[in-house]
Structure 1
Amino acid sequence: MTVNRELLFIEPDEYTINGDLLKFTGQRVSNKQKILGYYRIRSEQEKAALQGIQHPLTVQVAGKVGPINAPTNQNEFNFQRYMLGKNISNEIQVTQLRSAASPPKLGLLRQFLAIFHVIRKKMIDHFERMPQPLGWFIQVLLIGYQSEQFQEQMDQINRLGLLYLFTLSGMHVFYLVAMIRFLLRQVGTTKETTDLLLLGILPIYGIIGGSSLGLVRSILMTWLHLASQRFGQWHLTGIETWSLVLLMNLFYSPVAVFSLGAQLSYLLTLILILSRQKKQWLTGLQMGAFTIPLVLRQTFVWNIWTIPLSILIGPIFDWLIFPVVIVGMIFVPFQLVCNGVLKILAAFFSWSSDLPGTIIFGKPPAIFILFWLGLLLACQVKPKKLLLLSCLLLSGVCAYGWIHLPLNDEVTYFDIGQGDCSLIKTRFDRQVYLIDTGGKLSFNTEKWQVRNSRTNGETVVVNYLHSQGISRIDRLYLTHQDTDHVGNFPSISQSINVKQIIVPVGMEQLASFQRRLQLSRVKPSAVVAVTNQVHETVPSLALQILHPFERGQGKNEDSLVLLYRSGKTNFLFTGDLDRANELKVLEKYPNLRADIMKTGHHGSKTASDPKFIQQVQPKLAIISAGRNNRYGHPNEETLVTLRKYRVPFLLTARDGMIKVILSKQGPPKLTTYGQMNIY
């Protein structure tokens, strides 16, 4: 990254504040390019001032500019590609932000468009002050804005496989057009005049509605259809309009079609076009079926209630959700009633999402997705539906087996930032072990600074486990008490069944550990404290415990040291063990050797004693550390030691996730995901 000074133009509806983080999309005044910006707010007063802004800003900023990072863990959400779909490829980490002393004059078009961005911002703030969840539903459905507080409800809807409820924006445009036609008809406006008004109103609504890809797709289809009816010699059919808009999308932003929202929007609109003569329940069934392959590819999870709810959701949306939202928005006396109805609906979604029936399927290969979509499309036109459905079921079973029955052992080191987290899973996923969970340190955070966000234990670790079809951890080894090793275990346990936790003896009594245990879904009886003399309640441990030798307090010097053997390959995990205790381990186990060793304490000079490295003789060292971390890890002294004994090393901050696949037929295969290099 390079340090730049930039003059940026920011619309009032193109920024969000989460705790002490300001995130915005701005346009460079110099070259009109869009850029993603982040700024850490310095005071509560500054935060209040930023929240009150309701007009466009031209700001002078200073900060580091660079490309948006690609994902560094396998199957991690590709934020870089998502932003490329919005034609944004660079970001700026802002260190200074102030209003421009002499902002340049805006062109007439920009001034005209700014009016509608101001209207949208005022609507966002107004709906935020309404009774909730009514205001949040209005924000999502009508102006394409999702409040942070609405995330829980959206997560529940997503778990039920009903993503398209808010991504298929054509429903909103359909209702808007129908409502405008009805109102204008009541005052005697002709159909021709109404169509002309709609041609002007729809682009404006596209801006106020947030300009999401799904909304723009729907508006363009409606606009082209109306224009061809009014002015064209050739009246476009639904499928012709759909195809033309798709081509326009591919020309303007081809990367956007990789997003799940775009895929659902285009695919389900196509199903609606093809199913116009069919009953609503059958259309709902088809839409639910078509979402499954795309949802599995992106989220790796399927809920058995998706299909029955897909049949119900059409009438629920038509006759309940949208009318209640419109009435609650327009008629203030009815807001409390409408809010109560939506509370009941939200409770129904919450209850439904907690029902048993979630299947951790895993990420199917792309060839299966294409095959399934082809079979479903064939069912639309072919008479032999039973044969096609049988092929669909059989291929689904094959894909499930392909994911859930891997033929090799695997050891994976996550890029978890400044922390540690490693995964061991054996052939056919018979045993799954996690060593530490990562976790983010917080330094004297005040209430106004707290951000609502998911932990990287969820976005990285749980996401990867689900992509591999894994729904449980047989044993979670927590090497010691530090937050960057154990902080994520409560959030991970909310989505993954943790059967047993292994900790160094003494750590189980710490107040910090007990607080985390209460926040998790792990029963206290599942916690086992151990020394190198393995507790008899932990039979047949696949990982040999080499340290600690006695009771401690869960500090660095008490870290678990673990040795895992797979075939002829030995893996050593040392937590944050210090040099003095590394030498004690050598005294206890003079023949200790490791092919792959995770260096202690993130490559700090307090670990990786030269004598320890010399005797263990690793063929490869793994260093888990965060990018640009405040501790300077890995320390140069440790790197000098590794070079002295000719130990090559990989660094998660540079190389991303590191995966080792172990095969009985050949040497281990090692893959890194920072640059997607294969060694």
Structure 2
Amino acid sequence: MCGLYYLKGWGRLVPLCGLLYLLWLIRLKHGGLLKAAVAFLLLLALLLARDQQAPGLNLSSIRLYPDQVKLNDGWLSGRGHAGRTLLQVSGPASREAATRLQAGETIDLTAVSGDFSAIDPPTNPGQIGYRHYLASHHVSRQLKLTDYQLAPAAPSLLTRLHGLRYRISCRLKQLPRLLAFFASELVLAENPAGDNQDNLNTYRDLGVIHILSISGMHVGIYVFVLSVIGSCLHLTKEEVFACSCCLLGFEIFLSAGQPGFIRASLSYVFAAGLAFKRRKISRADLLGLTYCCQQLLEPRLLLETGGMLTYVLALGLVVTGKLPYWKQAFWLNGLLTPFLLYFFYQVNVCTIFYNVLVVPYFNYLVMPLTGLALFSPLPLQELFERILETAEGLLGLLARTGIGQVIFGKLASWQLALLFALTFLYLITRKKKYRRFLAAAYCLIFVSIHFPLEGQVSFIDVGQGDSILLTTPIRRRVYLIDTGGKLSFGRKKPAQAQIDRITIPLLKAQGISQIDGVFVSHQDADHVGDLGPLLEQVPVKRLYMGIGLIQNPSFRARLAGRVEKTKLIELKAGMEVQEAIKFEVLHPDLPGKGENKDSLSLTCQLAGKTWGFTGDLDQAGEEAIIQKHPDLHIDYFKLGHHGSDTSSSTKFLQTIKPSLVFISAGRNNRYHHPKPETLAKLKQLGIPYLNTQTEGMISWHYGWREYFSSFLEGRRVCYHY
């Protein structure tokens, strides 16, 4: 779980004690007690989790395996091995390094220099915890390379295996797009998003994303195929078992240790091994034995989302084994739902029906076609691709209907534990009171998320750009000023929009499924670059913009085909926007092209405080505003143009007399925002400021209490003014 890591010693001591206890239970055949013991150990391992710091590092040599590194436009990034320590490495790729890696060779970097630091933490609520993800894979540090030398890597079995995995990956990428996508998922347990992001979103929105993970079904297929081959070759059961173990071990390596596949493989090994000794083992005993052994080998098992979900699902199969199919499917989803809400903030209540549709399609169409494509000529591959394109298109249409999809919001850790415990207690006791408690708990948590006691003004940390979220308490209304967006500077456009990593998860974490109004300040990409992806994914009732911007061809292209159900409204100085939050328009006076000088400038009042937002408006525009409004006072002001010296003039700041100002700028941005001159000006005027560069997302909460907070490494630090 996020924020929990393993303390040295506890990570293996807990499963070791549990393993001994479970072996004793197996000897006594206390299967019922074993179920409770397994659940207890799962929770105990979570509670005792802490950070395990890496020992002193030796950066004299860093090994890079070709299958663990990506090359893009002369830039390498991926996993590096400094002795027994893993690092996240990135930096420029020399021509020789790129040539060797692309040839499938392992390379050693020596005489390394660069910036060595901790993994960057998430800076917005709901944002994917890259630090947490890497920590679950024993990576806690990153190295940004500036210079290095190459040395030949001594050949070994491990280098040859990584080279083989790389060549398999290259072979799979040569398949048509969908076949390559499914083959990579099913063979290498990789998620090659890129052009396949829509397909991943389809499976996620239908609630069947788990079907893409290799696990028990794939182990069963491998063992079955080997059994058939062994029968044809007249092999003994022991010989087939040995071949199966070797194949499963190799696939564990190919899948980079995917937790679900390891669990299923260990279960097969233990069950088949005991069968040779004519000893029966219950499903509960087998699960407990598998879990403790895997936890013993991998202390960070439950840090990984996949590791947690695979054992929750396996435990559910044990405790619901005697239920009819439909009831079993329902309660399996019930056990998984708290974890899905904790990690992904949404759930599909029709998942059971979608599973009935998708599982046969996947088992009897996707997997056979993908397997055949590996050994088929190009014409057949293209035929298989067209079949899959048609089927995936239909699934995509079904997902886009949104039927059954509920944006619930993020659960707190204690809420996750409560919902899981109530579900588990009902399944092992069948007492209706637990079912009633469970329904009441879900309802209360849902109401608390969707009808919050506090509203907010949040400066989302979108890097070099602007995006401000405003909400009202109780009957929540949602407004967004600008969307942010990634500046490409001539590089290839990123496959995934920045908004998919930052703003969309933030909205879902707060249970927000639609936006009442989006205000667009002007045309620059760092303010509206992600407007298109936002309109595609989140219903927006009204889109407000400065007068004249709608005539800009570039802006119209962002809206094309995305605003059929969105009302477009142009604004100019002197107008008022009568929403749940009342906005007054200060600028522009005349139609413009959407340049900085045309920035839509707004004020609004919340809980007796006046807020001001001027986009990238220049000092001439500010002068025009205070000439019309000489008595204008703004309590909290978003500093113009990310703290540039072209905005927020001394005269303007002296006129509005802000108590606090906010700066939204990217870390280490090429413009060096905020400018030293601007910060010196604030100091001279005695105006305090908060900066997303150092604070992450900055929020003002109002309603039953008022306070400021900044989100940094999961902490909320309060400011009172």
Letter in 1 for 2:310: S
Aligned to 1:239: 284
For residues 640-679 of structure 1, the aligned pairs below 5 Å read 640-664=680-704, 666-673=705-712, 676-679=715-718
Gaps of 5+ in 1: none
210, 214, 223: which one pairs with 1:177?
A: 223
81, 85, 91: which one pairs with 1:33?
A: 85
Q: Which moved more, 1:303-312 or 1:315-324?
A: 315-324
Aligned to 1:212: 258
Aligned to 2:557: 515
Q: Structure 1 residue 250: deviation in Å? A: 4.5
135, 149, 154: which one pairs with 1:105?
A: 154
Asked if 1:78 corresponds to 2:78, the answer is no
Distance 1:589 1:543 in 2: 15
Aligned to 2:175: 130
Distance 1:227 1:540 in 2: 67
- 2:602 alignment partner, SS class: strand
Q: Which moved more, 1:614-623 or 1:156-165?
A: 614-623
50, 64, 87: which one pairs with 1:10?
A: 64
Aligned to 1:527: 568
Letter in 2 for 1:673: L
Is the contact made by 1:19 and 1:451 (CA closer than 8 Å) also made in structure 2?
Answer: no
502, 517, 521: which one pairs with 1:475?
A: 517
Q: Deviations over 1:216-248 (max 9, x none)?
A: 3333333344455568x9876443343344345
Distance 2:283 2:105 in 1: 39
Distance 2:299 2:609 in 1: 45
Identify if the C-alpha distance between structure 1 residues 40 and 476 changes in structure 2 by more than 3 Å, giving closer, same or farther: farther
Aligned to 2:453: 407
625, 635, 642: which one pairs with 2:675?
A: 635
Is the contact made by 2:408 and 2:446 (CA closer than 8 Å) also made in structure 1?
Answer: yes
Q: Structure 1 residue 319: deviation in Å? A: 4.1
Aligned to 1:54: 104
Gaps of 5+ in 2: 1-57
196, 205, 212: which one pairs with 1:166?
A: 212
Identify if the C-alpha distance between structure 1 residues 5 and 610 changes in structure 2 by more than 3 Å, giving closer, same or farther: farther
For residues 251-400 of structure 1, the aligned pairs below 5 Å read 254-276=299-321, 282-330=327-375, 335=381, 338-357=384-403, 358-384=405-431, 388-400=434-446
- 1:670 alignment partner, SS class: strand
Distance 1:325 1:50 in 2: 30
For residues 489-508 of structure 1, the aligned pairs below 5 Å read 489-508=531-550
Q: Deviations over 1:87-137 (max 9, x none)?
A: 011122234466x1x43535xxxx112222222222222222234423322
Q: Structure 1 residue 379: deviation in Å? A: 4.0
- 1:678 alignment partner, SS class: strand
Distance 2:489 2:416 in 1: 45
381, 401, 419: which one pairs with 2:465?
A: 419
Asked if 1:463 corresponds to 2:505, the answer is yes
Is the contact made by 2:612 and 2:638 (CA closer than 8 Å) also made in structure 1?
Answer: yes
Q: Structure 1 residue 47: deviation in Å? A: 11
Is the contact made by 2:106 and 2:153 (CA closer than 8 Å) also made in structure 1?
Answer: no
Q: Structure 1 residue 330: deviation in Å? A: 4.8
Distance 1:184 1:211 in 2: 26
64, 86, 89: which one pairs with 2:115?
A: 64
Asked if 1:451 corresponds to 2:451, the answer is no
Aligned to 1:156: 202
Q: Structure 1 residue 621: deviation in Å? A: 1.3
Letter in 2 for 1:423: L
Is the contact made by 1:288 and 1:310 (CA closer than 8 Å) also made in structure 2?
Answer: no
Identify if the C-alpha distance between structure 1 residues 312 and 281 changes in structure 2 by more than 3 Å, giving closer, same or farther: farther
Q: Which moved more, 1:652-661 or 1:183-192?
A: 183-192
Is the contact made by 2:709 and 2:716 (CA closer than 8 Å) also made in structure 1?
Answer: no
Q: Deviations over 1:245-279 (max 9, x none)?
A: 43455455555524332222111122234445555
Letter in 2 for 1:12: P
Letter in 2 for 1:629: N
Is the contact made by 1:656 and 1:675 (CA closer than 8 Å) also made in structure 2?
Answer: no
Q: Deviations over 1:620-645 (max 9, x none)?
A: 11111000001111111111111112
Distance 1:352 1:524 in 2: 19
Distance 2:114 2:509 in 1: 36
Is the contact made by 1:20 and 1:450 (CA closer than 8 Å) also made in structure 2?
Answer: no
145, 159, 165: which one pairs with 1:94?
A: 145
Is the contact made by 1:11 and 1:56 (CA closer than 8 Å) also made in structure 2?
Answer: yes
Q: Deviations over 1:451-501 (max 9, x none)?
A: 32x222222112111111112222211112211111111111111112222
Distance 1:560 1:411 in 2: 18
Is the contact made by 1:593 and 1:618 (CA closer than 8 Å) also made in structure 2?
Answer: yes
Letter in 2 for 1:354: R
Is the contact made by 1:142 and 1:172 (CA closer than 8 Å) also made in structure 2?
Answer: no
Is the contact made by 2:521 and 2:600 (CA closer than 8 Å) also made in structure 1?
Answer: yes
Distance 2:389 2:552 in 1: 40
Identify if the C-alpha distance between structure 1 residues 149 and 524 changes in structure 2 by more than 3 Å, giving closer, same or farther: closer
Distance 1:394 1:199 in 2: 47
650, 654, 657: which one pairs with 1:610?
A: 650
475, 485, 489: which one pairs with 1:439?
A: 485
Letter in 1 for 2:309: L
Is the contact made by 1:87 and 1:253 (CA closer than 8 Å) also made in structure 2?
Answer: no
Is the contact made by 2:473 and 2:703 (CA closer than 8 Å) also made in structure 1?
Answer: no
Q: Which moved more, 1:508-517 or 1:68-77?
A: 508-517
- 2:590 alignment partner, SS class: coil
Identify if the C-alpha distance between structure 1 residues 383 and 530 changes in structure 2 by more than 3 Å, giving closer, same or farther: closer
Is the contact made by 2:206 and 2:351 (CA closer than 8 Å) also made in structure 1?
Answer: yes
Distance 1:374 1:115 in 2: 46
Aligned to 1:23: 77
Is the contact made by 1:597 and 1:618 (CA closer than 8 Å) also made in structure 2?
Answer: yes
Is the contact made by 1:36 and 1:92 (CA closer than 8 Å) also made in structure 2?
Answer: yes
Is the contact made by 2:176 and 2:385 (CA closer than 8 Å) also made in structure 1?
Answer: yes
Distance 2:645 2:424 in 1: 60
Identify if the C-alpha distance between structure 1 residues 223 and 63 changes in structure 2 by more than 3 Å, giving closer, same or farther: farther
Is the contact made by 2:97 and 2:107 (CA closer than 8 Å) also made in structure 1?
Answer: no
Identify if the C-alpha distance between structure 1 residues 532 and 290 changes in structure 2 by more than 3 Å, giving closer, same or farther: same
Q: Structure 1 residue 570: deviation in Å? A: 1.7
Is the contact made by 1:284 and 1:311 (CA closer than 8 Å) also made in structure 2?
Answer: no
Identify if the C-alpha distance between structure 1 residues 529 and 334 changes in structure 2 by more than 3 Å, giving closer, same or farther: closer
Is the contact made by 2:466 and 2:484 (CA closer than 8 Å) also made in structure 1?
Answer: yes
Q: Deviations over 1:313-352 (max 9, x none)?
A: 4444444443444344356696566545534442342132
Identify if the C-alpha distance between structure 1 residues 247 and 648 changes in structure 2 by more than 3 Å, giving closer, same or farther: farther
- Number of residues of Structure 1 aligned to a counterpart in Structure 2: 657
Distance 2:254 2:584 in 1: 60
- 1:500 alignment partner, SS class: strand
Q: Structure 1 residue 522: deviation in Å? A: 1.9
Is the contact made by 1:20 and 1:47 (CA closer than 8 Å) also made in structure 2?
Answer: no
- 2:143 alignment partner, SS class: strand
Identify if the C-alpha distance between structure 1 residues 20 and 376 changes in structure 2 by more than 3 Å, giving closer, same or farther: farther
Cα-Cα RMSD: 3.0
Aligned to 2:234: 188
**TM-score, normalising length: structure 2:** 0.84
Is the contact made by 1:199 and 1:226 (CA closer than 8 Å) also made in structure 2?
Answer: no
Distance 1:97 1:6 in 2: 10
Aligned to 1:115: 160
- 2:79 alignment partner, SS class: strand
Distance 2:628 2:668 in 1: 37
Identify if the C-alpha distance between structure 1 residues 570 and 46 changes in structure 2 by more than 3 Å, giving closer, same or farther: farther
Identify if the C-alpha distance between structure 1 residues 53 and 282 changes in structure 2 by more than 3 Å, giving closer, same or farther: farther
Identify if the C-alpha distance between structure 1 residues 22 and 450 changes in structure 2 by more than 3 Å, giving closer, same or farther: farther
